[in-house]
Structure 1
Amino acid sequence: MRAAAAIAGLFALFAVPFWVIPAYDAEAAGFWQHIFVTIFVFAAMACAWNILGGFAGQLSLGQTIFYGIGGYAAALMNQHFGLIPWIGMFAGAAVSVVVAVLIAWPCLRLRGPFFTLSTIAFLEVIRLLAIHFKDWTGGSAGLPVPMFVGTELRIGWSWMLFREKENYLVIAFGLLVLALIASWLVRRSRLGFSLVAVREREDAARAVGINTTAVKLSAFAISAGLTSLVGSFHGIYLNFIDPETMFSLPTAIQVAMFALIGGLGTVSGPIWGTLLVVPIAEAARGWLGAGANGLHGLVYGVVLVAVVLTMPHGLVGSIGPWLRRRFGAARAVDPTRIAAPVTGDAIARPPIGPVILEAQGLTRRFGGLIATNDVSLTLREGEVLGVIGPNGAGKTTLFNLLSGFLPPSAGTLRVMMPDGSWVTPSAPHAFAAAGVARTFQIVQPFAGLSVLENVMLGAFHQTRSATEARRIAEEVATRCGLGALLLAEARSLTVGGAKRLEVARALAMGPRILLLDEVMAGLNPADVTAAVELVKAVRDSGVAVIAIEHVMAAIMAISDRIIVINSGRMIAEGTPDEIARNPAVIEAYLGEDYVHVAA
């Protein structure tokens, strides 16, 4: 139903300038058709930018680099080699993808405003290079699009030059549809989920096995290629190309603003943002003439301020959820999904297997502070290893070492693969590939996504199919007691629900080793009991577990072995009974005055 409505809306958007306006007012048709060509061009660029800036959350203001490369590629290949613009269009897109990767590789190591400033710097460098190589580009004076071979006028579809604006409308609309379809496909793919995860919480994205650099590079490349295609067409349409127009910072800002007004990270938001702003600004300039010079900037500013103050999530991001609540059909909840988490009695516990993780002499220094000092441990298949110690003992630092979030200053760590070989991962996504999943001490859900989408991000580690990932996510969420909350936003969950969600997201990865960082802290007794049963069920499925916990009754109930960390050092190791009576452990927790209670 929604797909049919979207197709109908696109058809109506094209029909207005192509048929309706010429039939209603033939004299004004050319003016309005020009406005709609501009709308389609900017909407396509906004959709392309939204893949990087909306889905991935990377605020690039250098996207007109690729718009300009596309424009110059089509014109220069036409001028110097006599090639039709269609060839130059795709050649420019290929060059833009290469340039995007070269620019993104250093820039993506920067965060926040520093990344944005670096993209502006690259835009200025490219603009100056276009001015400098004037023998090819015409320099600051620019160059006209070649329209003649001798005295013969190059006109028609081959040369992308027409007397009637209807043909330009067809091409511009086709580029918009292409950008929209690409955006839709990306958002619903594994890549799209990964990009949104990076935007929401990059550390949590790394924990579910996402190579954050690779997915951001992919978004940069796709966005650049689409933007370049649009730039090639628009340069031919304008009939003149110069560095100030093709590598324009104000144009880059406008494109980002259209996506922001329409709704960042939504598929159709950039189109609605463009439809709202461009007609007002262009009509004002057309009606008022020279007296409206610069008025479009004022229009952009007023609309932006109004939307940000009244609809901070943009038009689609704010109105869309309201429409779904008001007119959308409610999804029935399957009563079988409201059950509590699966208990440990569901399957018999298999025997503990061979060692699958081995750490020797792990040490982590932060300047003069030694957070973890010469810690060695082993973990066996199907075993639960508890890690306890006072606050500040270095337990979470140890977890960060065991999951690749921190490199050790000294020591070695290796993980056994299913085929029996041993590997030494060096990054979170490599640990995930080796079968290691983790939760965080401070829960890190992808707050803007639903419970189902959160768990799907873990499931994508096992499959590239969105359908299969959804099936896995629903099954795991039900096991963790979240079946009735699949459509709820993660930010709406209670503390206990958020902790179960993190466990579900980790389990959906299909791990062989699960690191649980204080998943029972802050829970009420009923939730603690449910969490204990869930850990036992995970253990009984053959997954090895390392659990940091301060709830002593719980850690004693689930652990086969316990190690105790104090001041970065491992001070004790043994069974729960042995640890409970160990004088060094009692002293670490209660002080030396209580050592006598060990008896």
Structure 2
Amino acid sequence: MTDTPLAPAAPARLSGLARPGLLALAGLLATLVVLPVLIGDDFVYHVFITVCVFAALSTAWNIVGGFAGQLSLGHAIFYGIGAYAGVILTTLGISPWLGMFAGAAVAIVAAIAISYPCFRLRGPFFSLATIAFLEVFRVVALHFRDLTGGANGLMIPLKMGWQWMVFRERLPSLAIAFGLLLLCLAVAWWIRSRRIGFQLVATRERESAARAAGVNTVQVRLVAVAVSAALTAMVGTFHAMYLTFIEPAAMFSLTLSIQIAMFALIGGIGTVFGPLLGAVLLVPVSEMARGWLGAQALGLHGFVYGAVLVLVVLFMPNGLMGVLARLKDGGAKAKSPQAKAVAAAPAAAERPPMGDEIMRVEGLQKRFGGLHVTNDVGFTLREGEVLGLIGPNGAGKTTLFNMISGFMAPDAGSVSVRGADGGWHKPASPADFAAIGVGRTFQIVQPFAAMTVEENIMVGAFHRCGDVREARELARETAHRMGLAPWLEAEARSLTIGGLKRLEVARVMAMKPRILLLDEVMAGINQTDVRRAIDLMRSIRDDGVSIIAIEHVMQAVMSLSDRVIVLSSGQVIAEGRPQEVVRDPTVIEAYLGKEFVHAQA
């Protein structure tokens, strides 16, 4: 996930949008059309057309900037592409209705070409890269004077009528702008309420956890940026025809890019209707101030936007949608999962026998510079077996986990997993490991904080389910089994550390894994929760799932493990049954200490 300085609001609960909320939204949208018609003033028409245009642009930007968390400040690239495509084709006698789709196609190609390499960047560097590309497009538009008019710009041919999107009256322009706004809102709503929407938000929140859940994070972000660019270009085509004149400085403007991002931030970044609220709040104020004050108001809109932005950041970090959500909920916060008893997982009457080998790890080696983190590590895992992995801090346990789950490529050695077809495979990426049935948790829990418990588990369920309803049912079933059912609607950020660890296991189990990699899931939780976690792991094991567990809680290691491997300085120093390993002098010296052996005696 690309870290940004903007805190995304909690995602809208689209499926549970209350009736009063729907009525308020319908009323707001109707006002955008009805009010200017009732007033009948050309300037009021202009203000509301501008509101619709900027709300549509901000909604399109929010698909990539809000849902996917890619803070693009060069989005005017696609606006300018759409504007120039529409105007240039109009001068050739081609209707801007066709030019709109031509511009969208060019914008999609440009968006993918720009974004694919830039997705490797993190933090503010992605935003800076998009600004750099925006400047490149502006300079290119200035250079190709014969095509774009250069610094002198282009004036559209004044051909009136619906075919050319040019009208003497303002109402048809308002109708087109409003239609484009509805299109952008509909696309944003569709994306957020479907599988790709959950995956985009998961990618934004925790990219590594999303990859572990089988999400192709690059692919879903490319889809988001392509859709966003296409919608932005379509709005750009219409706006160019409405303005009747375009030039590079205005079409490829950094100010415009910042404005459309700011509307989403003020309204509620990452929500479906937040950008609309932001535009409705700010555009009329700035436009009317400029209309009433004329030249005296030069730059006033920048002051208005800046002042509102400062107030929002200080007092409404989640935007207007966040305020509305708090008013709806009455300020109530979800209770901690420790506030109520959690039912222990049911124990199986009899453990099924272990099966054949399901994973082979052979000769894994990994160096970081001159440090040999793992040195010729190898072992096997059988179906239904619990393999404990212990060792002192810095022994290379998490590095080993990263290599057997696809997050890190070994310098030498291999990992083979037997698939459901009975054949042996050598997966390479986290998606490959997830596809073959390997799921993992992380040493530092990685919840999708702004999503609910249910939505977190659904991200894992989407690995097996293509339909939202099916994924939701599987998520609820898994949550009930994991003792998380009372907190399905609570945001993950509200859970305690014990609840977060249980949630991470639930998300992985919703993937229906055949091999479960647990990285210190019992660290930092109390004894009661440790016992519950042990019972839960046993129930998972008894379902035939093989488990490899990195653990420092020796109570869990001794009671759960069929076999234990001890790592020290990147090497396997002991392997065998738990009771045998803990008495090995080498293990005692390297890890356990004599006090542990005396306590076991």
Cα 1:295–1:442, aligned 2, differ >3 Å: closer, same or farther? same
Query: Residues of 1 paired with 2:30 and 2:343: CA distance?
Result: 54
Post-superposition Cα deviations, 1:14-43, rounded to whole Å, max 9, x if no partner, equal: 5445444443x44xx110110000000000
Question: Equivalent residue for 1:505?
Answer: 507
The AA in structure 1 aligned to 2:212 is: A
Contact 1:338 1:483 (8 Å CA) reproduced: no
The AA in structure 2 aligned to 1:294 is: G
Match of 1:240 among 236, 245, 251: 245
Question: Equivalent residue for 1:341?
Answer: 344
Query: Residues of 1 paired with 2:269 and 2:428: CA distance?
Result: 34
Query: Residues of 2 paired with 1:562 and 1:230: CA distance?
Result: 61
Cα 1:440–1:109, aligned 2, differ >3 Å: closer, same or farther? same
The answer as to 2:37 corresponding to 1:37 is no
Query: Residues of 1 paired with 2:424 and 2:195: CA distance?
Result: 28
* TM-aligned CA deviation for residue 232 of structure 1: 0.6
Match of 1:46 among 51, 58, 61: 58
Secondary structure of 2:330's counterpart equals helix
* TM-aligned CA deviation for residue 57 of structure 1: 1.0
* TM-aligned CA deviation for residue 162 of structure 1: 1.1
Match of 1:225 among 225, 230, 239: 230
The answer as to 2:80 corresponding to 1:68 is yes
Question: Equivalent residue for 1:286?
Answer: 291
**Aligned ranges 1:518-533 → 2 under 5 Å:** 518-533=520-535
The answer as to 2:91 corresponding to 1:88 is no
The answer as to 2:213 corresponding to 1:181 is no
Contact 2:454 2:479 (8 Å CA) reproduced: yes
Post-superposition Cα deviations, 1:301-352, rounded to whole Å, max 9, x if no partner, equal: 11111111110111112332322337x9x99xxxxx975132222x642221
Secondary structure of 1:93's counterpart equals helix
Question: Equivalent residue for 1:334?
Answer: none
* TM-aligned CA deviation for residue 117 of structure 1: 0.5
The AA in structure 2 aligned to 1:281 is: S
Query: Residues of 2 paired with 1:441 and 1:274: CA distance?
Result: 42
Query: Residues of 2 paired with 1:593 and 1:418: CA distance?
Result: 45
Cα 1:287–1:388, aligned 2, differ >3 Å: closer, same or farther? same
Cα 1:378–1:319, aligned 2, differ >3 Å: closer, same or farther? same
Question: Equivalent residue for 1:151?
Answer: none
Cα 1:14–1:458, aligned 2, differ >3 Å: closer, same or farther? closer
The answer as to 2:111 corresponding to 1:100 is yes
Q: Which range moves more in the overlay, 29-38 or 11-20?
A: 11-20
Query: Residues of 1 paired with 2:386 and 2:424: CA distance?
Result: 21
The AA in structure 2 aligned to 1:102 is: A
Match of 1:550 among 536, 541, 552: 552
Query: Residues of 2 paired with 1:299 and 1:126: CA distance?
Result: 28
Secondary structure of 1:393's counterpart equals coil
Contact 1:357 1:380 (8 Å CA) reproduced: yes
Secondary structure of 1:565's counterpart equals strand
Post-superposition Cα deviations, 1:145-203, rounded to whole Å, max 9, x if no partner, equal: 122xxxxxx22111111111110111100100110111111111111111111111111
Question: Equivalent residue for 1:196?
Answer: 201
Query: Residues of 1 paired with 2:34 and 2:62: CA distance?
Result: 30
Contact 1:343 1:536 (8 Å CA) reproduced: no
**Aligned ranges 1:304-453 → 2 under 5 Å:** 304-325=309-330, 340-345=343-348, 348-453=350-455
The answer as to 2:165 corresponding to 1:160 is yes
Which consecutive residues of structure 2, in runs of 5 or more, have no partner in the other structure? 1-15, 335-339
Query: Residues of 1 paired with 2:32 and 2:184: CA distance?
Result: 20
The answer as to 2:568 corresponding to 1:566 is yes
Query: Residues of 1 paired with 2:134 and 2:18: CA distance?
Result: 37
Question: Equivalent residue for 2:584?
Answer: 582
Question: Equivalent residue for 1:129?
Answer: 140
The AA in structure 1 aligned to 2:470 is: E
Cα 1:232–1:586, aligned 2, differ >3 Å: closer, same or farther? same
* TM-aligned CA deviation for residue 9 of structure 1: 4.2
Contact 1:339 1:478 (8 Å CA) reproduced: no
Cα 1:11–1:166, aligned 2, differ >3 Å: closer, same or farther? farther
Cα 1:318–1:102, aligned 2, differ >3 Å: closer, same or farther? same
The answer as to 2:118 corresponding to 1:115 is no
Query: Residues of 2 paired with 1:559 and 1:593: CA distance?
Result: 21
Q: Count matched residues.
A: 582
Query: Residues of 1 paired with 2:251 and 2:586: CA distance?
Result: 71
Match of 2:303 among 298, 304, 307: 298
Query: Residues of 1 paired with 2:62 and 2:598: CA distance?
Result: 65
The AA in structure 2 aligned to 1:245 is: A
Cα 1:581–1:231, aligned 2, differ >3 Å: closer, same or farther? same
Contact 1:587 1:594 (8 Å CA) reproduced: no
Query: Residues of 1 paired with 2:202 and 2:465: CA distance?
Result: 16
Cα 1:498–1:595, aligned 2, differ >3 Å: closer, same or farther? closer
Query: Residues of 2 paired with 1:2 and 1:517: CA distance?
Result: 37
Secondary structure of 2:394's counterpart equals coil
The AA in structure 1 aligned to 2:74 is: G
Cα 1:50–1:598, aligned 2, differ >3 Å: closer, same or farther? closer
Post-superposition Cα deviations, 1:61-107, rounded to whole Å, max 9, x if no partner, equal: 11111001111111111212x11111110111111111100001111
Query: Residues of 2 paired with 1:120 and 1:324: CA distance?
Result: 39
Query: Residues of 2 paired with 1:499 and 1:593: CA distance?
Result: 29
Query: Residues of 2 paired with 1:568 and 1:416: CA distance?
Result: 26
Contact 1:394 1:568 (8 Å CA) reproduced: yes
The AA in structure 1 aligned to 2:156 is: V
Match of 2:90 among 55, 60, 78: 78
Contact 2:37 2:171 (8 Å CA) reproduced: no
Post-superposition Cα deviations, 1:357-386, rounded to whole Å, max 9, x if no partner, equal: 111110111111111111001111111111
Question: Equivalent residue for 2:10?
Answer: none
Contact 1:61 1:120 (8 Å CA) reproduced: yes
Query: Residues of 2 paired with 1:325 and 1:300: CA distance?
Result: 29
The answer as to 2:146 corresponding to 1:143 is no
The AA in structure 2 aligned to 1:367 is: G
**Aligned ranges 1:486-501 → 2 under 5 Å:** 486-501=488-503
Query: Residues of 2 paired with 1:112 and 1:510: CA distance?
Result: 34
Post-superposition Cα deviations, 1:222-275, rounded to whole Å, max 9, x if no partner, equal: 110110110010011101111111111100000000000001101110010111
Secondary structure of 2:70's counterpart equals coil
Query: Residues of 2 paired with 1:46 and 1:279: CA distance?
Result: 15
Question: Equivalent residue for 2:337?
Answer: none
Query: Residues of 2 paired with 1:522 and 1:6: CA distance?
Result: 41
Question: Equivalent residue for 1:463?
Answer: 465
Cα 1:344–1:55, aligned 2, differ >3 Å: closer, same or farther? same
The AA in structure 2 aligned to 1:48 is: A
Contact 2:77 2:252 (8 Å CA) reproduced: yes
Question: Equivalent residue for 2:6?
Answer: none
Contact 1:439 1:503 (8 Å CA) reproduced: yes
TM norm structure 1 = 0.93
Which consecutive residues of structure 1, in runs of 5 or more, have no partner in the other structure? 148-153, 332-336
* TM-aligned CA deviation for residue 212 of structure 1: 1.3
Root-mean-square deviation (Å): 2.2
Contact 2:388 2:548 (8 Å CA) reproduced: yes
The answer as to 2:219 corresponding to 1:214 is yes
Q: Which range moves more in the overlay, 398-407 or 589-598?
A: 589-598
Between the aligned residues of both structures, percent identity stands at 58
Cα 1:538–1:178, aligned 2, differ >3 Å: closer, same or farther? same
Query: Residues of 2 paired with 1:158 and 1:32: CA distance?
Result: 25
* TM-aligned CA deviation for residue 581 of structure 1: 2.2
Cα 1:77–1:4, aligned 2, differ >3 Å: closer, same or farther? farther
